Amino acid sequence: MNVINNQLYIGELHASEIVKRFRTPVYVYDDDVIRHKYRELADSLSYPNVKIFYAAKANTNSRILEILREEGAGIDAVSPGEIMAALNAGFKPNQIMFTATAVSDEEMKFAISKKILVNADSISQLGRYGELNPNSDVCLRINPAVGAGHHDHVITGGPDSKFGIWVGDLEQAIAVAQAHKLNIVGLHQHIGSGILDANKFMNAVDVILAAAKNFRNLKFIDFGGGLGVPYSPDQKPIDINEFGKKLSGILAAFSKNYGKELLFIFEPGRYLVAESGALLCTVNTIKKTPKHKFVGVDTGFNHLIRPMAYGSYHPIVKISDAEGAEKEKVVVYGNICESGDVFTIGDRELPVLKEGDVLAIMVAGAYGYSMASNYNTRPRPAEILVSGKKMSVIRDAEKLKDMLE
Ligand SMILES: Cc1ncc(COP(=O)(O)O)c(C=O)c1O
């Protein structure tokens, strides 16, 4: 997915070809970008025993799951629905881990019935899991007391976070596991999402590796996801080769001291799919107040909630014709009946827009469609995958009549 001379290309197609065929609003993804991001991360890690478990929540489209399976990924699933989506996309049970929070016994029974490894998020869950499935393998999700992320809502480590077993309570967790003859085969953490400062990730790696020394039967350590991608022009991508090199050295040294070559797992979601996707929409209204010029489009936070939920920046590109040189400050707003439904947080300088122009809201492949809803009783759009010159519908647009049944 590239913007060249103010024109958007997805694979080898010009965005206008997609709009002509599918109209807007529509999500479009570039197959090559997903594969490239997967390989870039996998290749950066020279430690021999590493697996990438794609965090399906970022984008659960079955074709996207299949692409990542073809590349060699496993799956981080956070609900029975995501387990089913992964199994339907051809993942084997041993390629899936179930990492949920506030987990009910029914959900654990479901995972057990599908032979999926359960990652306990609390001592309560661990005890209940032990009752349901004694003498089995289990993983513990720890809260390493440090967190990071692009917004408070996505920081998942530290004393304010609901996630994981507090790192100071691991003795208690070991006792509960022993009482049920559970074999703790893995330790897991995930400190947050949208991390662009690799040092923050590394600090948490130190914490889990220190904790891991007290567990003698480990087969793997899972560092979670969280690797960020740049959204706004002022953000810099993580230097993934440097990250991989540094980490691989740490992992090799740890395994040597531990006495066996452990498996290390990473669970990226956003890093793999965010840059593969765009939400295309059409300007249908231009209006003004004394303070702002407003540009209304045929989509809203029901399709892409990140700006509304986190104040997130998404690049917006005019793709209907070459951008003119003239620019002006506008607020791009959606068709949902709430004032927070804006795609620019405040004014943004964009090429002068008119009704009928088509826009691409970029970097929308992660937490876009997967967080979409039917709010305001509006259908969700189609999802289109471009592979080279070929475009395929990988999810049909919802129809109002189906929604209302
Ligand atoms: C347990 C777990 N792993 C991985 C991820 C993926 O995060 P990201 O998309 O930032 O890589 C999440 C996201 O919330 C998560 O909760």
**Each residue's pLDDT tens digit, 152-197:** 898 898 999 999 999 999 999 999 999 999 999 999 999 999 999 9
Q: Which of 337, 346, 402, 404 is catalytic?
A: 337
pLDDT for res 321? 76
Ligand 1 mean position to 63 CA, how many Å? 20
**pTM of the entire structure?**
0.97
Give the residue, by CA position, lying nearest to ligand 1 atom 5: 225
Residue range(s) occupied by CATH 3.20.20.10 in the chain: 45-268
Whose Cα sits closest to atom 16 in ligand 1? 190
- Given this model, what pLDDT does residue 3 score? 86
For ligand 1, the distance from its centroid to the CA atom of residue 188, given in whole angstroms, is 12
**Which residue's entry shows tokens 């306990």?**
120
* Mean of pLDDT over the chain: 96
pLDDT in tens, 40-97: 999 999 999 999 999 999 999 999 999 999 999 999 999 999 999 999 999 999 999 9
Residue 85 is predicted with a pLDDT of 98
User: Residue 4: pLDDT band by 50, 70, 90 thresholds?
Assistant: confident
Q: Residue 146 pLDDT more than 90?
A: no
- 323 has a pLDDT exceeding 70: no
Q: Which CATH class is domain 2-28+274-403?
A: mainly beta
Mutation test of ligand 1: which of 38, 52, 57, 191 has the most ligand atoms closer than 8 Å to its C-beta? 57
Ligand 1 mean position, distance from CA 91 (Å): 19
State the Cα angle at 202 between 96 and 102, rounded to 5°.
45
Q: Indicate the top mutation candidate among 75, 187, 267, 275 to test ligand 1's pocket, ranked by most ligand atoms within 8 A of CB.
A: 267
The protein residue whose alpha carbon is closest to atom 14 in ligand 1 is: 193
At residue 373, the pLDDT reads 98
Quick one: which atom of ligand 1 is closest to the CA of 270?
9
* The CATH number of domain 45-268, selected from 3.30.300.30, 3.50.50.60, 2.140.10.10, 3.20.20.10: 3.20.20.10
Ligand 1 atom with the shortest distance to the CA of 76: 3
pLDDT digits (tens, 9 = 90+) for 331-359: 999 999 999 999 999 999 999 999 999 99
309 CA to centre of ligand 1 in angstroms: 17
Distance 269 CA to ligand 1 centre (A): 6
pLDDT for res 325: 75
Nearest atom in ligand 1 to the alpha carbon of residue 192 is 10
Whole-number Å distance, alpha carbon 57 to ligand 1 midpoint, is 8
Gap from CA of 365 to ligand 1 centroid (Å): 14
Q: Has 337 been annotated as catalytic?
A: yes
Range scoring the smallest mean pLDDT among 207-216, 260-269, 287-296, 314-323: 314-323
Average pLDDT over residues 272-293: 98
Instruction: Name the residue of 154, 155, 187, 193 whose CB sits within 8 Å of the most ligand 1 atoms, as the mutation to test its pocket.
Output: 193
Atom number in ligand 1 closest to CA 366: 9
Q: Where in the chain is the domain with CATH 2.40.37.10?
A: 2-28+274-403
Protein residues whose CB sits closer than 6 Å to any atom of ligand 1: 55, 57-58, 76, 99, 156, 190, 193-194, 224-227, 267-271, 366
Tell me the average pLDDT across 133-139.
Answer: 98
- Calculate how far, in angstroms, residue 107's C-alpha sits from the geometric centre of ligand 1: 19
Q: Which atom of ligand 1 is nearest to the CA of 188?
A: 1
Residue 383 has pLDDT above 90, yes or no: yes
- For ligand 1, mutation pick of 119, 190, 243, 265 (most atoms within 8 Å of CB): 190
